[in-house]
Amino acid sequence: MSVLVTGGAGFIGSNFVLDWLAASDELVINLDKLTYAGNTENLQSLQGDPRHVFVPGDFGDSALVANLLAKHQPRAVINFAAESHVDRSIHGPEDFIQTNIVGTFHLLEAVRAYWGGLQDSARQDFRLLHVSTDEVYGSLAKDDPAFTETHRYEPNSPYSASKAASDHLVRAYHHTYGLPVLTTNCSNNYGPYHFPEKLIPLMIVNALAGKPLPVYGDGQQIRDWLYVKDHCSAIRRVLEAGRVGEVYNIGGWNEKPNLEIVHTVCALLDELRARTDGKSYREQITYVTDRPGHDRRYAIDASKIERELGWKPAETFETGIRKTVLWYLDNQSWVANVQSGAYREWVEKNYAGRAA
């Protein structure tokens, strides 16, 4: 038995592969294009492990995917592959259209052909699990109820619009062709191997480097925070027992404004790796111009997955964020290696002109 994971060298994908092989001996075929956020160093502990087959390549390459499916005969495909950073989608939306929409279409076509050729129980048991985001639902006012699986789609960025389109394609392939799909929409993930352009790792990395901690606008944008390993356990549970064609929201029940997140990171660093001058890292906080169309609040109602599948997060935000900060402190070489020239150029481009 085997599973095919697309995007398995990225942040969430690599955590999923590592957690999967920590709990199972089932073969993982790991397909990743290795763009800026894909990093084989995330998978270094699996070097030489026969249960892990890494294939560099594009999940939108139908011929490559078809060959992998024919060769390994996986019982499931778990699709993490995506362009996923809102700021990057604002600067360059075309990559998001090509990857998240066109790439998903090509994957669906390859998987549909493979599934159509399966026999009896293999065809009955096969699943395609598509990993998506809460951002497809748009933005919430302060007192609005949290997103449920039936909330209307109102994406507000090129990123979220491209993911919404991919979700609709997955749904259409189920209803039109009968393809046995599952979709998950998660809230903001954090944890080990997070590329340091996102809020939490950026704050940790900049704080330790003595750089400003850029906070968009007033810092009161609210997100629901989900520890990545909780997300991985939820995906395993949905793959195991989710109802075909259904959508499951995955959240951490941790709604917090961005500024509170930054303050928490600073407090942990003050405790665990104090500044040499004795001052708090909070003194490095700098308020910068908000990004265009910044959604004010996301909130996930994760009661369906708990009610139907018995899943709920194991980590509180307090336990998860401490584990995350400790991981970055203990893995400074990983941070240094991912901070290539291209990454530094990107950070400079994104924050140029955003002075307080």
Q: Which of 159, 173, 193, 298 is catalytic?
A: 159
Angle, helices 199-208 vs 258-272, to 10°: value is 40
Q: Which of 134, 197, 255, 315 is catalytic?
A: 134
Supply 327's token pair.
């991981």
- Residue 184 CB contacts under 8 Å (≥ 6 apart), including other chains: 129, 130, 131, 132, 234, 235, 238, 247, 248, 249, 250
**Which residue, 64, 62, 94, 100, is CA-closest to 80?**
100
How many whole angstroms separate alpha carbon 48 and alpha carbon 30? 14
**Which residue, 283, 228, 274, 276, is CA-closest to 252?**
228
How many whole angstroms separate alpha carbon 111 and alpha carbon 115? 6
Q: Which of 32, 83, 87, 135 is catalytic?
A: 135
Cβ neighbour number for residue 7 with a 10 Å cutoff: 28
- Active site annotation includes 32: no
- Active site annotation includes 343: no
In sequence order, what are the beta bridge partners of 285? Answer: 213
How many whole angstroms separate alpha carbon 264 and alpha carbon 198? 16
Torsion-angle region of residue 258: left (phi > 0), alpha (psi -120 to 50) or beta? Answer: alpha
How many whole angstroms separate alpha carbon 21 and alpha carbon 28? 8
Cβ neighbour number for residue 121 with a 10 Å cutoff: 9
Name the amino acid, one letter, at 220.
Q
Q: Where are the beta strands (DSSP E) in 33-126?
A: 52-56, 76-79
Asked whether the beta carbons of 42 and 67 are under 8 A apart, the reply is no
- Residue 112: is it exposed, middle or buried by C-beta count within 10 angstroms (0-12/13-18/19+)? middle
| Phi and psi at residue 101, to the nearest 5° | -100, -60
- Active site annotation includes 135: yes
**Active centre residues (catalytic):** 134-135, 159
